[in-house]
Amino acid sequence: MELFLCKDAFRVELADHRPAVVKQTCGLLGALAWACGASFTCIVEALLVPILLMATKKK
């Protein structure tokens, strides 16, 4: 349950579309993935597409 809430919170932040917010969110996501290891993989995989879309979005 908590992982789903965390995933939803990250999606909301990534939907913000402000570069600084997206950069901070990706940084936090990376730090949590490194600290939590395999238990955080499902969230990273679920957020991979939104992150890639933000990274390749035309300005």
Which distant-in-sequence residues (6+ apart) come within 8 Å of 14 by Cβ? 22, 25, 47, 50, 51, 54
Query: Among all chains, which residue has been given the structure tokens 């939104």?
Result: 50
Cα distances (Å, whole numbers) of residue 1 to 7, 22, 43: 10, 24, 12
pLDDT at position 2 is 64
pLDDT tens for 5-57 read 777 777 787 777 787 887 787 788 788 778 877 777 777 777 777 777 776 77
Contacts for 26-33: CB closer than 8 Å, 24+ residues apart: 26/51
Query: Among all chains, which residue has been given the structure tokens 């679920």?
Result: 46
